[in-house]
Amino acid sequence: MLDPDRLFPLERATRTLARSLYEQVAELAIISPHGHTDPAWFAGNAGFPDPAQLFVTPDHYVFRMLFSQGVPLENLGIAPRDGRAFETDGRRIWRLFAQHYYLLRATPSKMWIDHALSDVFGVQDALSADSADAIYDHLSSCLADPSFRPRALFDRFGIETLATTDAALDPLTHHATIAASDWGGRIIPTYRPDAVIDPDAGDFSKNLTALGKVTGEDTQTWRGYLKAHQKRRQHFIKMGATATDHGHPDATTADLGGAEAEALFDKVIAGDGTADDHRLFRAQMLTEMAQMSVEDGLVMQIHPGADRNHSTKMFDTFGADKGFDIPKAAEYTKALRPLLNKFGTDPALSLIVFTLDEATYARELAPLAGVYPALKIGPAWWFFDSPEGMRRYRETTTETAGFYNTVGFNDDTRAFCSIPARHDVARRVDCGYLATLVETGRLSHADAAEVAVDLAYGLAKRAYKL
Amino acid sequence: MLDPDRLFPLERATRTLARSLYEQVAELAIISPHGHTDPAWFAGNAGFPDPAQLFVTPDHYVFRMLFSQGVPLENLGIAPRDGRAFETDGRRIWRLFAQHYYLLRATPSKMWIDHALSDVFGVQDALSADSADAIYDHLSSCLADPSFRPRALFDRFGIETLATTDAALDPLTHHATIAASDWGGRIIPTYRPDAVIDPDAGDFSKNLTALGKVTGEDTQTWRGYLKAHQKRRQHFIKMGATATDHGHPDATTADLGGAEAEALFDKVIAGDGTADDHRLFRAQMLTEMAQMSVEDGLVMQIHPGADRNHSTKMFDTFGADKGFDIPKAAEYTKALRPLLNKFGTDPALSLIVFTLDEATYARELAPLAGVYPALKIGPAWWFFDSPEGMRRYRETTTETAGFYNTVGFNDDTRAFCSIPARHDVARRVDCGYLATLVETGRLSHADAAEVAVDLAYGLAKRAYKL
Amino acid sequence: MLDPDRLFPLERATRTLARSLYEQVAELAIISPHGHTDPAWFAGNAGFPDPAQLFVTPDHYVFRMLFSQGVPLENLGIAPRDGRAFETDGRRIWRLFAQHYYLLRATPSKMWIDHALSDVFGVQDALSADSADAIYDHLSSCLADPSFRPRALFDRFGIETLATTDAALDPLTHHATIAASDWGGRIIPTYRPDAVIDPDAGDFSKNLTALGKVTGEDTQTWRGYLKAHQKRRQHFIKMGATATDHGHPDATTADLGGAEAEALFDKVIAGDGTADDHRLFRAQMLTEMAQMSVEDGLVMQIHPGADRNHSTKMFDTFGADKGFDIPKAAEYTKALRPLLNKFGTDPALSLIVFTLDEATYARELAPLAGVYPALKIGPAWWFFDSPEGMRRYRETTTETAGFYNTVGFNDDTRAFCSIPARHDVARRVDCGYLATLVETGRLSHADAAEVAVDLAYGLAKRAYKL
């Protein structure tokens, strides 16, 4: 099912070189420094319930594509919020998925799923309406086996470190359970404080109260609020965290004076803030987070640029994360200036910025990362976590920012079984890119071999302090 | 003159595969669901007057390029509005064209013209100053022959269906003549109501009056105006139309309440509307058109993003459509939200959106089309109807939207003889892309063969309900 | 150290063709119509002081990359403004550079430096920490030799004409010295009046006074100010200039009435102008400069789009041009309309526009240059003066604007020894592109050979009237 030379360059000599570079990195341990797997899986180590709940129901890449061609989400096991009926029979969901699998032709999702079916589960046949039942049976029997439990798969996947993404208010009990267990897998949290930073978040006010409670700080005052962040970050650090993550609507930062920031905070928590005030508050908080990173050493990530819950109708019916988050044009040059002007040359800050607007790579992010010591460019993300997206990423960042202002690969996934597949795609595309550079006289063979290891393993490990 | 392997990938195994895929689709019937050929040609079936009037005078791609290098439009047979003299001698225009044909090197126009000269007219020599007269003579003698009349060419080109683009007020007499004839060619109109929707259009007020007259509705009231559209659309449907088309300056849509929409209409037709009111009215009307499409089944197309008549001087001298329409940055995520929020998940709507800003493919249109059932992405358009444009289109849409949220190819041309050439270019580029996917392990050979037929024929037929 | 087939296409038949096209242009004379070399070098013809001052200290591409990975600028020989100590030992700077040379892997800078080391200085070994001292010694002994003096290198590089960029107030004494010498090298100035046009420039008011003094015009009046420009341009023309250059923050142009322009000027020089007034004044001045170009024949260049001195902290410490100029999104369709509407079809104007936003090539600049006789597209610039940048440039401009609305290559460099390398890269990438067109049936072999010479030599010569 899988072409052993997949994703390598077409030209045969270059392909041969790509393959030899790839062979040197294919089996390196996986560093997964940013993602959304559920720590409960590894805490409880229960078997995954059924193939549909592993491959279809939690994967927005998959169900959004089927929905776009008329398959109702209910039929794919997505629960409506109002309690209406939805499909719960895994086999029926799986059959529907298999019938429509042709819609995913030439998408990264198909490549990941084929890889997981083949390499993780030993499936030999292509998934289709005809093979659906047999494959379902096979997967089900695998899932019943202890060797397919989360910890076993984690070990088998060769994951060295996996970071989850956790709300600031998350009690991190699963992480504690894992740490207290006799299992050696390294699973660490990431401090994601959006819900206690974004005044537009639902329950912002309640969240602040909760943050006050958990930290023992008075989060109704600016000083107390900042102190609460500092304390909570310390707790995350104690639990293994090495990074924060910020999912703002855009990358705007601000650098207000202390009094001005305090007045803004007071206005916002009083509920008197306008949309512009809320935007400014988020902007200011990015700079405050940078300040704290300078102090406590947490690597800072910004993931901006999605217009969340584009369809109000679908959000009302099914809730968030149903495939209706849509990118929009992004801007970094002006947006990051306040933060970078303050901390961009501080060796204590490490800031990793992602984008959903590829036009910003060559135009803004590579020029910025190519000069500011603090700034690094995150890998191709989300809709761009794909062979073409990765190729464009390298072609538009390397010439200005080089390799060493990038941070390796992030799988950023909720789909646990896709982790090896995703890293494999990145390693193949990168080795193909390096081979092309060598064959066009832009990189020596020896340098390519060294860079290949850095892109697959070293850069992520160093950038995230793992 | 034509390389039989043109536009296929360079690498030889991939080229061989592309050729074999192409051979399976090269002779499929042509579906031309959107274009600007003149229905009068097929109604009257008179011979084309001379080679210059077939290849030069009506083709803005051609004369804009010559003008950009100093050739006056008058010398190319373009009539100034003020009655000043202009060249009318076809042979002299043709010679001037031939002398400057080198300016079109590596453009799609040259590829189309070479294809038409070679395949349609059997010309053997490359066009140049030296060969100009001989080729002119040869073409002239062809054009005098009945086998080069419009209907004969239509049949010879293997066109299954050809849609023209027709103003809402167009009487469609030529379509009636064609329908009443004993000739079997299927030529259908498309409802293009810009002149009765855009308050900035010249004669907007007169056009509304005319729309009232032709439909028997009171177009001075909001209800009557909407009713008039509904009736006129029914007339177009009766004449064979399956689609509407909207050439707005941008893709902005709105979803006003009934009273608000009515008040806006009243203000606009009273001539009291500001530029913002006009923009909002156009935006609201896109949503109204979507509503009507839900009701009457017409497929809806939006072609936004050109800054029309960029040179006031040239517009004053020569009028519209003289090559001075220039694209600008586009935005879809916010712009389409009101319409998509209302009708985007309605299975009765089929909305095809085009762009002149390639940055929006991967960033906005593919993510939107990859989740909204109503939305599909139109093919690479206008300046992007080119080998590189088509390649970038596939590379930036497929990974997120797949193949089945696209709609095959549109030739969108006024240049009748270029139709086979344009479809041929699309088929070649698509087969080259598919072959590349196969050879890099992203698509199976069997799937590629199926997709090739869909891209060349099936998708256009289904998307436009033909 | 240099692959003789570097930058050619991977596929072997295409590579062979690219090589044969390249062989026809590799030794053509260099036209360098836009750059920033120092005329004092050629006036005084002193030897370059040491390798670090030739390769490291003046090259912002190089030191920005090292700075981005933590190397302090002081250690690279960049002088802080406050008189603080900085490294002045060339060998120590060179060692630091060599240790970090791996950061430049796969960047154009590395390709240029390797080319200069190998071809200009005959260095055999790759630069690294190990080879640093030996290479430093070798370079030092070369630089001590008269055959490595500026004029000798100029002659050896085969430069036919080299244009410098000179402030309007520059006395052009070095150009006069060169002209008066018995050396035959053609080095001409370019009129760059930003400091006497941009009200936001430091010392704007003083600069106007100085402009008045040098021209004998009253630059406190609008008429006198314009007259002063006209006279100063005449002086530059007398000294050999064929072009102007304008480094505005964006491409906005305006076409105010005479009285309105005068009132704006009065307000601006009175110091009463707002930021918008300053922007409008710059915009108006572009159109005034176009008017003057129509009259005196100077080719006009616009280089817009950089956000200069992004880090205030670094600007305060080290001054301008330290690698902290960052591109931002650009717009040309609306911005250039006033100027193009007035002079865009005037055969006496030749306007060359550059961009730092690649999205504007296919979307705006190619459509504009493909119709306006006055407008041509400058080559891939700055961060895009790179193999991938050049490839994207051709792929996004050629199909709409052809080859003849482009102007060949600009090296735009301060790094004298990189000039042959940069032109070589451009010639290789262009020949690779042309070979690809031939092998995919889009260009005949004979046409490709002709175009190759135009791209390498003819277009620049004609576009800049050299």
SS3 per-residue string spanning C421-455: HHHHHHHHHHHHHHHHHHHCCCCCHHHHHHHHHHH
Nearest CA in chain C to B71: C373
Please provide the average confidence, as pLDDT, over all residues in chain B.
Answer: 97
pLDDT of residue A202: 85
According to DSSP, the β-strands at C351-353 and C375-377 are: parallel
Mind listing the pLDDT tens digit for each residue in B238-285?
A: 999 999 999 999 999 999 999 999 999 999 999 999 999 999 999 999
Helix or strand or coil: residue A47? coil
Nearest CA in chain C to A433: C106
| C-alpha triplet B437, B438, B444: angle, nearest 5° | 120
Nearest CA in chain A to C15: A440
Mind listing the pLDDT tens digit for each residue in A280-311?
A: 999 999 999 999 999 999 999 999 999 999 99
Task: Say whether A70 and B347 touch across the interface (CB within 8 A).
Answer: yes
Note the Cα A356 to chain centre separation in Å.
12
CB distance from C395 to chain B under 8 Å? yes
Query: Residue with structure tokens 């390709």?
Result: C111
Nearest residue, CB atoms, C341 vs list B12, B67, B312: B312
Mind listing the pLDDT tens digit for each residue in A161-176?
A: 999 999 999 999 999 9
Residues of A with CB below 8 A from B366's CB?
Answer: 383
Mind listing the pLDDT tens digit for each residue in B297-339?
A: 999 999 999 999 999 999 999 999 999 999 999 999 999 999 9
Nearest residue, CB atoms, A105 vs list B341, B368, B403: B403
CB distance from A318 to chain B under 8 Å? no
pLDDT of residue C98: 98
What does the alpha-carbon distance between residue C184 and residue B87 come to, in Å, rounded to a whole number? Answer: 49
Task: Say whether C345 and B307 touch across the interface (CB within 8 A).
Answer: no
Q: Which domains does chain C have, with CATH numbers?
A: 12-47+147-463 (3.20.20.140), 48-146 (1.10.2020.10)
What does the alpha-carbon distance between residue C357 and residue C394 come to, in Å, rounded to a whole number? Answer: 15
Helix or strand or coil: residue B197? coil
Task: Say whether A447 and C102 touch across the interface (CB within 8 A).
Answer: yes
CA proximity to B225, closest of B241, B210, B247, B237: B210
CB distance from B355 to chain C under 8 Å? no
Mutation to test the A interface, candidates C114, C310, C357, most A Cβ within 10 Å: C310
Q: Is the pLDDT of residue B430 over 90?
A: yes
What does the alpha-carbon distance between residue A327 and residue B359 come to, in Å, rounded to a whole number? Answer: 11
pLDDT of residue C202: 85
Q: What is the mean pLDDT of residues A432-438?
A: 98
Mind listing the pLDDT tens digit for each residue in B113-129?
A: 999 999 999 999 999 99
Interface predicted TM-score of the whole assembly (ipTM), two decimals? 0.97
A 10 A CB-CB count for A126 gives 17
Task: Say whether C363 and B356 touch across the interface (CB within 8 A).
Answer: yes
pLDDT along chain C (466 residues), means of 10: 96 98 98 97 96 95 98 97 96 98 98 98 97 98 97 98 98 98 97 97 95 98 98 98 97 97 98 97 98 98 96 96 96 98 97 98 98 98 98 98 98 95 98 98 98 98 98
What does the alpha-carbon distance between residue A250 and residue A328 come to, in Å, rounded to a whole number? Answer: 9
Answer positive or negative: Cα dihedral of B40, B42, B43, B44: positive
What does the alpha-carbon distance between residue A104 and residue A62 come to, in Å, rounded to a whole number? Answer: 8
Q: How far is C436 from chain B (nearest CA, A)?
A: 8
pLDDT of residue B312: 96
Task: Say whether A106 and B399 touch across the interface (CB within 8 A).
Answer: yes
Q: How far is A1 from chain C (nearest CA, A)?
A: 28
pLDDT class for A1, splitting at 50, 70, 90? Answer: confident
What does the alpha-carbon distance between residue A253 and residue A316 come to, in Å, rounded to a whole number? Answer: 31
Amino acid (1-letter code) at residue C442 = R
What does the alpha-carbon distance between residue C159 and residue C157 come to, in Å, rounded to a whole number? Answer: 6
Nearest residue, CB atoms, C371 vs list B108, B323, B358: B323
Q: Give the DSSP letter of residue B462.
A: H
Task: Say whether C105 and A341 touch across the interface (CB within 8 A).
Answer: no
Of all helices (H) and strands (E), which one includes residue A163?
strand A159-163
Q: Which chains touch C (3 or more CB pairs under 8 A)?
A: A, B
Rg of chain C on CA atoms, in Å: 23
Mind listing the pLDDT tens digit for each residue in B344-393?
A: 999 999 999 999 999 999 999 999 999 999 999 999 999 999 999 999 99
Q: What is the mean pLDDT of residues A64-83?
A: 97
Q: How far is B265 from chain A (nearest CA, A)?
A: 27
Helix or strand or coil: residue B371? coil
Nearest residue, CB atoms, B362 vs list A10, A111, A358: A358
Q: What is the mean pLDDT of residues A371-395?
A: 98
Q: Is the pLDDT of residue B1 over 90?
A: no
What does the alpha-carbon distance between residue C446 and residue C185 come to, in Å, rounded to a whole number? Answer: 33
Residues of C with CB below 8 A from A449's CB?
Answer: none
Helix, strand counts (H, E) of chain B: 21, 11
pLDDT of residue C1: 80
**φ and ψ of A440, to 5 deg:** -110, 20
Mind listing the pLDDT tens digit for each residue in B149-166?
A: 999 999 999 999 999 999
Task: Say whether A68 and B341 touch across the interface (CB within 8 A).
Answer: no
CA proximity to B301, closest of B225, B366, B377: B377
Q: Confirm if C440 and B10 have CB atoms less than 8 A apart.
A: yes
What does the alpha-carbon distance between residue A119 and residue A424 come to, in Å, rounded to a whole number? Answer: 11
What does the alpha-carbon distance between residue B256 and residue B283 come to, in Å, rounded to a whole number? Answer: 10
Q: Which of residues 295-314 of C touch A (CB under 8 A)?
A: 307, 310-314
Euclidean distance between the first and the last CA atom of chain A, given in angstroms as a whole number: 35
Q: What is the mean pLDDT of residues A72-88?
A: 96
- Partners of B301 in the beta sheet? B245, B352
Q: Confirm if A193 and A229 have CB atoms less than 8 A apart.
A: yes
The percentage of chain A sitting over the pLDDT mark of 70, rounded to a whole number, equals 100
Q: Count of residues for chain C? A: 466
pLDDT of residue C252: 98
Q: Is the pLDDT of residue A25 over 90?
A: yes
Note the Cα B336 to chain centre separation in Å.
21
CB distance from B324 to chain C under 8 Å? yes
Q: Is the pLDDT of residue A452 over 90?
A: yes
Q: Is the pLDDT of residue A445 over 90?
A: yes
Helix or strand or coil: residue A32? strand
Please provide the average confidence, as pLDDT, over all residues in chain A.
Answer: 97
Mind listing the pLDDT tens digit for each residue in B190-206?
A: 999 999 999 998 899 99
pLDDT class for B440, splitting at 50, 70, 90? Answer: very high
What does the alpha-carbon distance between residue A114 and residue A119 come to, in Å, rounded to a whole number? Answer: 8
What does the alpha-carbon distance between residue C51 and residue C136 come to, in Å, rounded to a whole number? Answer: 7
A 10 A CB-CB count for A266 gives 14
pLDDT of residue A229: 98
Amino acid (1-letter code) at residue A291 = Q
Give the 3-state secondary structure of C125-165: CCCCCCCHHHHHHHHHHHHCCHHHCHHHHHHHCCEEEEECC
Q: Which chains touch A (3 or more CB pairs under 8 A)?
A: B, C
